[in-house]
Amino acid sequence: MSIALFTLGGTISMAGRTPDGVARLTGEDLTAAVPGLAALPVPLEIQDFEAVPSSNLTLAKMLDVVDAASKAISNGATGIVLTQGTDTLEETAFLVDQVWPHSQPFVLTGAMRNPTLAGPDGPANLLAAARVAGSPAARDLGALVVFNDQVHAARWVRKTHSTSTATFASPNAGPIGQLVEGQVRILTRPARQDGVPGRAEPADLDAAQVALYTVTLDDDGVLLKGLADTHQGLVVAAYGVGHVPATLAPVLGELAERIPVVLTSRTGGGSVLRNTYSSVGSESDLLGRGLIDGGFLDPYKARVLLRLLLATGEGQDEIIGAFAQHH
Ligand code: ASP
């Protein structure tokens, strides 16, 4: 029995500047710096996957990590820990959650303060993540983000602050658990959702380009023109409950006749509505024009989901069904 630790770079591994870039800690270095890790009941098996800023991660790369993690589970691992940069962690965690078929927890973590600073948070986060990955209480919860002694469900977690060590939060639901005196306490157990069926190969992902368009005040919509010729899907980060300027409504409606267009809120919390407003450009108008209700999904996660669905060949009905799980 073991916990499989995969490392992917990020601030948690940044050991300072070198003449040619950044010195990166290996998994071995990371674990050596964590008091308490050696006392865990199961050992960590380390695989250094890649050492990159999380801005360089791709969906295809993350699916490779998931494959390697699945192999570790087949070889007897009781859970997975993945360390990576925090910038894209809310998206990678959601992606993993969509494709992770196992009961064993897949826990993602990182750090906001690198190891050269006073009070780096990486060691505490890694220890907490390993505790969660090894905890029977964390089984059947899919992908989890463990940070700052909190446990977040991948489907709800957001990076909410550019520098704070308390950056990860779940605005719609709160954390599903906490670590208390080193013990994993799961407070609520969200039912697992249907993941994305099928396997997205890199070529399928390349062929499934999804744009994210954030609507802003006095928006001219110029960037939307011709979008269906270059992209296979679109996520709209709309105002508030799902509104856009009236001038954009027909443009989005025409796009929705050609490619799936998902309506989400740019606010960072709450769901888009369905039936409250009815003016041109309102949520009910846009849904009536064929946009798909993104529910509680934030625009970034909606984009990951739509890209995976398109890459695995799902049609409009399946796409609507997948997003309906987030209503
Ligand atoms: N820019 C870093 C990254 O995402 C930030 C971090 O790790 O916290 O790789």
DSSP letter at 239?
A: B
The pLDDT tens digits for 144-182 are: 999 999 999 999 999 999 999 999 999 999 999 999 999
Residue 109 identity (one-letter amino acid): T
Q: Is the pLDDT of residue 21 over 90?
A: no
User: What is the CATH topology of the domain spanning 202-324?
Assistant: Rossmann fold (3.40.50)
| Closest residue by Cα to residue 306 from 57, 53, 94, 79 | 94
Q: Which residues sit with their C-beta closer than 6 Å to ligand 1?
A: 10-11, 53-54, 85-87, 110, 112
Q: Is the pLDDT of residue 1 over 90?
A: no
Whether 11 is catalytic is: yes
Domains 2-186 and 202-324 alike in fold? yes
What is the chain's length?
Answer: 327
144's tokens: 């989890």
Q: 87, 108, 159: which to mutate for ligand 1, most atoms within 8 A of CB?
A: 87
Instruction: Please give the average per-residue pLDDT across 75-96, as a whole number.
Output: 98
Instruction: Please give the average per-residue pLDDT across 279-292, as a whole number.
Output: 98
Q: How far apart (Å, rounded) are the C-alpha atoms in residues 265 and 270?
A: 8
With cut-offs at 50, 70 and 90, classify the pLDDT of residue 304: very high
8's tokens: 């992917």
Shortest-distance atom of ligand 1 to CA 84: 7
16's tokens: 């300072």
Q: Is the pLDDT of residue 19 over 90?
A: no
Q: How far apart (Å, rounded) are the C-alpha atoms in residues 296 and 264?
A: 8
Cα dihedral 12, 78, 70, 176 sign: negative
Domain boundaries 2-186, CATH class: alpha beta
The pLDDT score that the predictor gives to residue 78 is 97
Q: Which uninterrupted H or E stretch holds 248?
A: helix 248-258
Alpha carbon of 254 to ligand 1 centroid (Å): 38
With cut-offs at 50, 70 and 90, classify the pLDDT of residue 18: confident
Q: Which residue CA neighbors atom 7 of ligand 1 most closely?
A: 85
Alpha carbon of 240 to ligand 1 centroid (Å): 29
* Domain segments of the chain as ranges: 2-186, 202-324
CA 122 from centre of chain: 19
Give the angle 251-310-304 at the CA atoms, nearest 5°.
85
Q: Is the pLDDT of residue 20 over 80?
A: no
Residue 252 identity (one-letter amino acid): L
Q: Which residues contact 92 (CB under 8 A, 6 or more apart)?
A: 54, 57, 62, 84, 108
Instruction: Please give the average per-residue pLDDT across 79-88, as a whole number.
Output: 98
Tokens 């986060």 locate to 125
Q: 7, 11, 163: which to mutate for ligand 1, most atoms within 8 A of CB?
A: 11
Instruction: Please give the average per-residue pLDDT across 93-121, as a whole number.
Output: 97
The pLDDT score that the predictor gives to residue 16 is 85
The pLDDT tens digits for 214-266 are: 999 999 999 999 999 999 999 999 999 999 999 999 999 999 999 999 999 99
User: Per DSSP, what are the bridge partners of residue 52?
Assistant: 9
Residue 139 identity (one-letter amino acid): R
The pLDDT score that the predictor gives to residue 22 is 80
Q: How far is CA 149 from CA 124, 134, 143, 183, 259, in A?
A: 8, 15, 16, 10, 41
Alpha carbon of 53 to ligand 1 centroid (Å): 6
Q: How far apart (Å, rounded) are the C-alpha atoms in residues 190 and 193?
A: 9
The pLDDT score that the predictor gives to residue 17 is 84
Q: How far apart (Å, rounded) are the C-alpha atoms in residues 32 and 191?
A: 36
pTM, rounded to two decimals: 0.97
The pLDDT score that the predictor gives to residue 126 is 98
Q: Which uninterrupted H or E stretch holds 94?
A: helix 89-99
> What rounded mean pLDDT belongs to the chain?
97
Q: Quick check: 231 and 211 in contact, CB under 8 A?
A: yes
CA 69 from centre of chain: 17
